[in-house]
Structure 1
């Protein structure tokens, strides 16, 4: 699946992927948006920035529970 996503991205396709799988998020994301109850809490320019500094207490708690 990751290979297909990368091939499509290489052709200029933009994708929105919703997941709780943080390993997958790290592997395929160019940008991370964190929603809680439909409310935008964090938007970053890179996955590295999000995982290093989640930006909100709620995002940090989520990462503590769900990051592999």
Structure 2
């Protein structure tokens, strides 16, 4: 649950890099995160929850397309505010 929530930016980058490497090596993970750049680059499936219920589920491409739940579209629409973890 939020593995980077109480970390400074440097430690956040280190933890995300370790998790990305594990993902590339084929490890299955269930991660709760607000780090959308990381989620979109490392996940095979993304779920959005609201009030404890799954409101949207799909591949990163499906979620990024913005065709689903209104709040998900608004959240994904702000991705320019998130760091792109594809190059880290």
Same fold (TM over 0.5): yes
Identify the TM-score tier after normalising by the shorter chain. Answer: 0.7 to 0.9
Matched, 1:55 2:68: yes
**RMSD, aligned CA:** 1.9
SS in 1 for 2:29: coil
Distance apart, 1:2 and its partner CA: 4.3
Provide, for residues 21-40 of structure 1, a one-character-per-residue CA deviation record: whole Å limited to 9, x for no partner. Answer: 21111221111101112110
Aligned length: 65
Structure 1 unaligned residues grouped into runs of 5+: none
Give the structure-2-normalised TM-score. Answer: 0.59
